[in-house]
Amino acid sequence: MKKLFKGVAIVALCLVLVVVGLILNNRICYAMYDKADVDLEVLTDAELETAASIFAYLSDHGGAIFDGFGELTELLLYNRTYEFLLTDGVYEQGWETLGADGRTGKTVYRRLSEDPKAFAVKIGDRWAGSFCTQAYYPVSLLEQVPVFVPPQLFLLDDIAYRSVVVHEMAHALQGNRDNSRLEQVEGLHNVNSRYDGDRDFNAFMKKEGKLLEEAMSLTDHNELVSKAGEFLASRDSRRTDCGMTAQEISDEKEYEWLEGSGRYAEYIAADGSRTTSSRGLDQNIAQKAAAQGVDRYYALGMAQIVLIRNLDIPDWQPKLFYQQYAPEDVLREYLRK
Ligand SMILES: [Zn+2]
């Protein structure tokens, strides 16, 4: 009995030590990052240099992600107090002009940050990708994650940070090409969350993810076609077996279009990153698809776009961005021919 008591006491002590260690780690990180001034009235030199490197990346490589992606001219970065718009355009209403910036070649505008979004924001008649500044990112992270979660899990190296900004800029591209579609899809939240605890639904999702994951490693065209067919058939079975409504089906397709495109751009732009989550964007799709929550649609949408690209389907981009196709619609039409 004494031995048992001693064993339990040792386990309890270890657990307490682990929790205290995690909390200490979190607080030390916060103390480190909180020194950064995240309420500055201007973008710092480092932030402007990062913005310049993102525009340069997009100009050099954006076209290899999506046609015309390199021609995006706007980016919105926010710290805890202000939003900064970098643009070639002229904006007066609601914006204070800070002037021309030589590093990015853009004009910088500022306004108080009231409802900052890691997404795209419509400014005038154009959409701008919007994300927090590189200095504010770890601070905002530490303000959001629970105190016993190691923030190191979510920290981004420079390439990973760039890739996340490129993800948000892909949403701007979607909005500039089909404004009403983006405005509509922007309102989708918690898509199909009523199935989160549904074992059949999750098993089907896992299978769809697995098939797309297998397709990632294929190069033979016929094998790719056959895998795409299996994926679509499995998806049809899920929708029938789970009794999904037409609205639920439409919501998941639109959400895959929205976040699959963003995640696809992020995945390409993350090439060379040492951040674990960014390096693994094309891995464990089955596991991601089986996980509850909307993140599954990011992974499934991205993997479908990789498959579409690898199948070399003609005109897939105009279909996705101008003709209201969801990724699976592009696959279905191709396989019918
Ligand atoms: Zn997104």
Q: Is the pLDDT of residue 105 over 90?
A: yes
Cα-to-centroid distance, 265 and ligand 1 (Å): 10
pTM of the model: 0.92
Cα-to-centroid distance, 140 and ligand 1 (Å): 18
Q: Is the pLDDT of residue 93 over 70?
A: yes
**Which pLDDT does position 97 carry in this prediction?**
96
Cα-to-centroid distance, 176 and ligand 1 (Å): 15
Query: Is residue 87 classed exposed, middle or buried when 0-12, 13-18 and 19+ CB atoms within 10 A define those classes?
Result: buried
Cα-to-centroid distance, 15 and ligand 1 (Å): 37
Cα-to-centroid distance, 256 and ligand 1 (Å): 10
Cα-to-centroid distance, 147 and ligand 1 (Å): 26
Cα-to-centroid distance, 169 and ligand 1 (Å): 9
Cα-to-centroid distance, 111 and ligand 1 (Å): 23
Cα-to-centroid distance, 175 and ligand 1 (Å): 12
Average pLDDT of the chain?
93
Cα-to-centroid distance, 17 and ligand 1 (Å): 38
pLDDT tens for 235-289 read 999 999 999 999 999 999 999 999 999 999 999 999 999 999 899 999 999 999 9
Cα-to-centroid distance, 168 and ligand 1 (Å): 6
pLDDT tens for 195-209 read 999 999 999 999 999
Q: What is the pLDDT averaged over residues 58-82?
A: 96
**Which pLDDT does position 324 carry in this prediction?**
98
**Which pLDDT does position 266 carry in this prediction?**
98
Cα-to-centroid distance, 162 and ligand 1 (Å): 14
Cα-to-centroid distance, 258 and ligand 1 (Å): 7
- Looking at per-residue confidence, does 173 or 143 come out higher? 173
Cα-to-centroid distance, 119 and ligand 1 (Å): 6
